[in-house]
Amino acid sequence: MTTNRLTNKTTFVTGAASGIGAAICRRFLDEGARVIATDIDPEGLRRLRELDPERVHVVTADVTDERTMADAVTSGVAVFGGIDVVVANAGAGTYGLIQDHDLADWKRIIDLCLVGVFITLKATSAHVNDGGSIITISSLNAIQPSAGMSAYCAAKAGVAMLTRVAAMEMGARGVRVNTIAPGLVPTNATAGMFAVPEVIRQFEENASLGRHATPDEVASVAAFLASDESSFMSASFLSVDGGGNTGRYPTLPAIFSSLQ
Ligand SMILES: NC(=O)c1ccc[n+]([C@@H]2O[C@H](COP(=O)([O-])OP(=O)(O)OC[C@H]3O[C@@H](n4cnc5c(N)ncnc54)[C@H](O)[C@@H]3O)[C@@H](O)[C@H]2O)c1
C-alpha cells in the first residue's frame, strides 16, 4: 500500500541504481517525494531517472570520495532546494577468513560501508532541513556475526553506532537518525549467495518467518522512517530480517569448503 506521506519532501539516496536503494527510490517516488539519486553506476541512474525526469535528479558519485559527494549534494540542492531525507545505502560485502584476508580488500569494505556512510552524513548534514530524517542501511550482520565476513560485520556494527552518535548530534535541530538492518534480500550484492542453495536453505531455516525479504519490504520501512509517522523515532535500530536475528548466520566456511 502506498500513500502520499512524502509529498514535497526532497530525498537524497546513495547506492540508488540497483537493489534496495532503487526500491527505496521507487517507493519514495510513489509516496510523492523528489529524489536526488547518487551511485557509481550511471546506466542504472539513467534508468531510474526515466521513471520521472521531473522528480528524479541523478548524480554519478562515489561515497568514498568526500569531494565528489559534496559536489553531488550541491548539485541536488541547486535543483530541488534543501534536503528532507537522506538514505545512506551504498554498500557491498566480501568473503575471507581473517587469517588470510587480503588487507586491501578488508579496508575497501570498511571504506565503502562505514567511511562512505560517514562521508554521506558529513556532506548532507548542513543541507538537511530542521525536522528531517536520516536513514542508514546497516545489516543483520551489525548484530549477528558471520565467519568469513569480518570486514562487513565490523563495518555494519560501526554504521549502527555511527547512527546513534549522529542522532545525538542532530537531535537539537529535530533531525532524526535511524538505521535499518535488513536480513537476506535478493540483489546484485547477494547473487553469489543465491547461487549456493545450502546458504539460502540455512538462511531461511534460521529466520522466524522462514523466508528471505523482497527489496520492497525494506523500502516500506524506509518510507515509514522518512515520513512524519515516525516523528518520535531517533537512534533506533530497526531489524527487517524476518526474525533472523534470533537464529544464527549460515556456516559459510563449511558450506564454501564443501563446494571445492
Ligand atoms: N541484499 C542484502 O541481503 C542486504 C542485507 C543487509 C544489508 N544490505 C545492505 O543494503 C545496501 C544495498 O545493498 P544491495 O543489496 O541493494 O546491493 P546492490 O549491489 O544491489 O546495490 C548497491 C548499490 O551501491 C552502489 N555502489 C557500490 N559502491 C559504491 C560507491 N563507492 N559509491 C556509490 N555507490 C556505490 C552500486 O553501484 C549499487 O547500485 C548495502 O549497504 C548492503 O550492505 C543488503
**Arithmetic mean of pLDDT over the chain:** 97
Mean pLDDT, range 229-253, rounded to an integer: 97
Q: Cell numbers at residue 211, please?
A: 523466508
Summarised one tens digit per residue, pLDDT across range 93-112 is 999 999 999 999 999 999 99
Residue ranges of the domains in the chain? Answer: 10-187+214-245
Which residue has its alpha carbon closest to ligand 1 atom 31? Answer: 62
CB of 67 closer than 8 Å to CB of 60: no
Amino acid of residue 62: D
Architecture of domain 10-187+214-245: 3-Layer(aba) Sandwich (3.40)
pLDDT of residue 8: 93
Mean pLDDT, range 217-246, rounded to an integer: 98
CA distance 129 to 149: 36
CA distance 247 to 205: 9
pLDDT at residue 1 above 90? Answer: no
pLDDT of residue 217: 98
Which of 187, 221, 237, 241 to mutate to test ligand 1, by most ligand atoms within 8 A of the CB atom? Answer: 187
CA distance 128 to 87: 12
Q: Look at the alpha carbons of 166, 171, 173, 179 in this order and tell me if their dihedral is positive or negative.
A: positive
Summarised one tens digit per residue, pLDDT across range 131-184 is 999 999 999 999 999 999 999 999 999 999 999 999 999 999 999 999 999 999
CA distance 31 to 13: 15
**Separation of 124 CA from ligand 1 center, angstroms?**
19
Say what the pTM is. 0.98
pLDDT at residue 2 above 80? Answer: no
Summarised one tens digit per residue, pLDDT across range 61-87 is 999 999 999 999 999 999 999 999 999
Choose the catalytic residue: 152, 203, 224, 249: 152
Examine the residue annotation and report whether 152 is marked as an active-site residue of this protein: yes
CA distance 167 to 177: 5
| Helix/strand/coil for 91 | coil
